[in-house]
Structure 1
Amino acid sequence: MSLLSHHCRMLFNQSSNINSLKEEGYDIAVIEAFNPCTFLVMEKIGIPFIAFFPGIFENPESIGIPSPLSYVPVFGSYLTDHMNFFERVQNIFMFFLSRVVEKKVHSKFNDVIEENFPEGSRPSLSELYKKAELWITNTDFIIEFPRPLLPHVIYVGDFLSKSPKPVSQELEDFISESGQAGFIIVTLGSMIPSYPLIEFVQEMNGGLAKISQKVIWRYKQSDWPKEVKLAPNVKLMDWVPQNDLLGHPKVRLLVTHGGYNSLREAVYHGVPVLGIPLFGDQYDNLVRVKTKKFGTFIPPDQMKAELFANKIKQTIEDKSYKATAMHMSLIQRSQPFPPDQQILRWVEHIIQVGGANHLHPSSYQQPWYQQYLLDVILFLLLCVTVTCYLTVKVLRILITLLCSVRKEKTH
């Protein structure tokens, strides 16, 4: 976020770019919502916008989405939607920690706001998040846990997966050598084409050497450590046509870092998953994979050749993983409205009607203590306290009177 705020400051310093965007007179903008700077740019330009978030919401409370902590796990908690008592306690603590982290993130952009917006009309990021006409995210409840949403928060699901194309002859020849065992795909995402820890690579390579399947591993060949002898069943490639390979009839497993787009492609093609979460949202994503039972994962600090090989064999040989993946593929492919059509129709709707105020809840205008009914709770507690106090007072008076009457009769 420090780097993004630095980029944001540089962007605002290029006033000619900001001015040219103003002069274009756009009807609406669709912005990438992970970077807070995009909201500041929209506020500066002054046009309505739709926010697109790539994956699971990290702080849904910041845009007012109801998040009951009893069954909605906080991002980064690594919990499921079925929590026992102590996990619910953990979830509450994670909620308060997430609010602290969010404030820390927002503070990174304070200098940008002070430098580019006049005093008295300086926006806060929490206010700008609520100015989005729509929030669209490329998730749905196939992978994500069911939870309440607001009318202007749209889960469109996967819109990148598509029917596979034939792979190259080189890959087809390699795959054909696998026989009935088939092949697996190993890729840790575009951000880490080569893993820098040699010990980790050694363990992965040793585990792959113990399995009967052929392996297509996305790893930058020039970075392969010379001291590690590549397993004979492994083919290294600088880049792989992942969607096409996942659609191949001989694919048996995807070994992945747990990036959301990779998981969506695996679901689309009905391929089980073995995850190795490295950073960001990947651990949370793979917790959902394991809970939904179409795969499992190994924390990177537990990576050992024997464990890795056993997990691969278990995930391939246990047919329940494949059956679940195929059922999830059926759910995804039979969605009533294709994701790209949903996005198109919603954008057209917002432009046509001139905004989405009819979808925004009145909670956006309420202070936080009203949203959580703290003022009502305080009032009711006060009423109960006063009632109890008066009841005790009256009882004491009655008891005193009764005692005095008895004494007089006795006398």
Structure 2
Amino acid sequence: MPALPLLCAFLLLASAHSAKILTIVMMGGSHYLLFDEMSHVLHESGHDVNMLVLLGIPQIPGLSYAGRKDSYRLTTWSAGDQYVSRFNQWFLEQQREFFLGRETFDMFLDLMSHFAQQCEWMMNDVELMDTLRGERYDIAMIDTFNPCSYLVAEKLGLQVVTVHGGNFWNVHQAGTTIPLSYVPVHRSLLSDRMDFWGRMKNFLMFLGSFEAERRIQARFEKAILTHFPAANVSLSQLYLKAQLAIYNADFTLEFPRPLPPNVVCVGGLLAKPAKPLPQELEDLVQAAGEDGFVVVSFGSMLSSINLPGLLREMNAAFARLPQLVIWRHLPSHWPRDLHPAPNVRLVEWMPQNDLLGHPKARLLVTHGGFNSLMQAVYHGVPVVGVPLFGDQFDNMVRVEAKGLGLTVDVTQIQALHLSHSMETVIRDTRYKASALTLSRMHRSFPFPPRQRLVQWMEHVLQLGGGEHLRPFGTQLPWYQYYLLDVIIALLVAASALTCLLISILRACVGRLCRAGKVKEE
């Protein structure tokens, strides 16, 4: 074969496996960390990746949001320092409410209102939109937690792959089937083993979820009317246009459920083989002896607890443990009149994955974020969870159902109760055995999460979309999807047949009666 055709074939093959991808993340914390990892993985696979980050959202303290060196590109947008300052102050107050056990749906709607306002301002930035549009991306990979991601991708005219940062709570955004008899809905606090009343609760909460979704979407109506005045655009329609739905979920912890072919699970992307600890930290954990150490972290955003009473109870609980306690908490936010227990070490930042992978790790005390839980699963470390908001409550239901650990209600944190829960999980070998079983299970799944992410993305890219994976049912009206038209038609037919039979019987009985009277006469 001549050299020129060979070169052309090589270039065509290379271009088929390389694409321009825009990743959009409009939420901080674990959402940003997940998109940072996915953007880096796709970059390492040969794709040109640019990540659009919305600043002025709940951020990770101390993180510069400058992206990785020699990796994907980064574009940031902010609503301005004055607004960001007010927003962060507002979110700080929300954190306080979380730790007081006062999380409500209205607080979540307030967050959505902030997102909608920022979304409108962001799409008003003509220079930003024109610059992104001029890049001519092949596809957008978006974080679904903030619905603005859908609107930005639509404004840029891009096909989307959606990324769902937690468990299967946002079923309205993916059009997945929910067998309510054994699949618990969001915040039901049910497992897949439901009795009659559990199924009743699950069904009623499922019906209520439609109203909740309606109220969420209502927050974005103004932004939609402003930026799509001539188009019939709605979030419900945009949700169902996704070429692929990627879930940060894993059936090591998640309850089994049916999924359509356009849903891919990549839970565990942030769980990796442990690297050696920094020498100072290694010396610290070695000094802990055979008792080992406990890792305490309430997530990437909640690195500080601004409630002195709660800190005193937790500090007293940790003091009762023989283990070293490595606690992620900003020392600058620690009360001056409270001395950390002798076995407690406060750190501004910790290599959590590497600590959990250390042979002396005995327990993770966490808020129940999925990424932290999957790191615990990967390394076989049991858990005590204190859920605060969002899907963390459901996550901890799964942790208890799988035997990985125990849940402590944040409103019931007292030194004796918390220490008893931690001692139980550390000393009862059943929790460690379950953690090791789940670890083996997760590691033995066919294809690691990284490989699943890359291969499915490239599959969709090479085919120009994922229409062949999307069930047609997502395009059906709700009454057809649930066969209500068929059921009504059958009921009408059965009723008509019943009425006909009754009429015939009445006619027959009438004739027999008349015939009997004639004979008597």
TM-score band by shorter chain is over 0.9
- Quote the Cα distance in structure 2 between the aligned partners of 1:336 and 1:252: 28
- Quote the Cα distance in structure 2 between the aligned partners of 1:318 and 1:326: 14
Compute the displacement of 1:178 (Å). 2.3
- Quote the Cα distance in structure 1 between the aligned partners of 2:409 and 2:371: 20
Aligned residue number for residue 330 of structure 2? 220
Aligned residue number for residue 478 of structure 2? 368
Aligned residue number for residue 51 of structure 1? 162
Compute the displacement of 1:129 (Å). 1.1
1:303 aligns with 2:413: yes
Aligned residue number for residue 145 of structure 2? 34
Aligned residue number for residue 405 of structure 1? 515
1:184 aligns with 2:270: no
Gaps of 5+ in 1: none
* 1:307-326 equivalence runs, <5 A: 307-326=417-436
- Quote the Cα distance in structure 2 between the aligned partners of 1:62 and 1:125: 9
Q: What secondary structure sits across from 1:277 in the alignment?
A: coil
Is the 1:66–1:149 contact (alpha carbons within 8 Å) kept by the matching residues of 2? yes
Instruction: Write out per-residue CA displacement over residues 219-249 of structure 1, whole angstroms, 9 at most, x where no aligned residue.
Output: 1111112333322211111111111110111
* 1:210-359 equivalence runs, <5 A: 210-359=320-469
- Quote the Cα distance in structure 2 between the aligned partners of 1:336 and 1:124: 38
Is the 1:63–1:126 contact (alpha carbons within 8 Å) kept by the matching residues of 2? no
Q: What secondary structure sits across from 1:195 in the alignment?
A: coil
Aligned length: 410
Matched AA of 2:406: T
Gaps of 5+ in 2: 1-111
Is the 1:142–1:332 contact (alpha carbons within 8 Å) kept by the matching residues of 2? yes
Q: What secondary structure sits across from 1:401 in the alignment?
A: helix
Matched AA of 1:347: M
Q: What secondary structure sits across from 1:296 in the alignment?
A: strand
Q: What secondary structure sits across from 1:100 in the alignment?
A: helix
- Quote the Cα distance in structure 1 between the aligned partners of 2:127 and 2:232: 21
Compute the displacement of 1:400 (Å). 2.0
Matched AA of 1:54: G
- Quote the Cα distance in structure 1 between the aligned partners of 2:296 and 2:158: 43
Is the 1:259–1:285 contact (alpha carbons within 8 Å) kept by the matching residues of 2? yes
- Quote the Cα distance in structure 2 between the aligned partners of 1:378 and 1:63: 27
Q: What secondary structure sits across from 2:161 in the alignment?
A: strand
- Quote the Cα distance in structure 2 between the aligned partners of 1:175 and 1:20: 49
Aligned residue number for residue 114 of structure 1? 225
Aligned residue number for residue 151 of structure 1? 261
Matched AA of 1:189: G
Out of 83, 101, 123, the position equivalent to 1:12 is 123
Q: What secondary structure sits across from 2:446 in the alignment?
A: coil
Identity of aligned residues (%): 47
Matched AA of 2:505: L
Q: CA RMSD in A?
A: 1.3
Compute the displacement of 1:170 (Å). 2.6
Once the two structures are overlaid, the 10-residue window that deviates more, 40-49 or 226-235, is 226-235
Out of 121, 127, 130, the position equivalent to 2:237 is 127
Aligned residue number for residue 205 of structure 1? 315
Cα distance 1:62–1:27, how it changes in 2: closer, same or farther (>3 A)?
closer
Aligned residue number for residue 196 of structure 2? 85
Is the 1:32–1:53 contact (alpha carbons within 8 Å) kept by the matching residues of 2? yes
Q: What secondary structure sits across from 1:75 in the alignment?
A: coil
Aligned residue number for residue 48 of structure 2? none
- Quote the Cα distance in structure 2 between the aligned partners of 1:97 and 1:199: 36
- Quote the Cα distance in structure 1 between the aligned partners of 2:205 and 2:421: 30
Is the 1:59–1:98 contact (alpha carbons within 8 Å) kept by the matching residues of 2? no
- Quote the Cα distance in structure 1 between the aligned partners of 2:164 and 2:475: 23
Compute the displacement of 1:19 (Å). 1.4
Matched AA of 1:192: L
Aligned residue number for residue 283 of structure 2? 173
Out of 163, 169, 194, the position equivalent to 2:304 is 194
Is the 1:114–1:122 contact (alpha carbons within 8 Å) kept by the matching residues of 2? no
Is the 1:113–1:122 contact (alpha carbons within 8 Å) kept by the matching residues of 2? no
Q: What secondary structure sits across from 1:43 in the alignment?
A: helix
- Quote the Cα distance in structure 1 between the aligned partners of 2:171 and 2:341: 44
Aligned residue number for residue 62 of structure 2? none
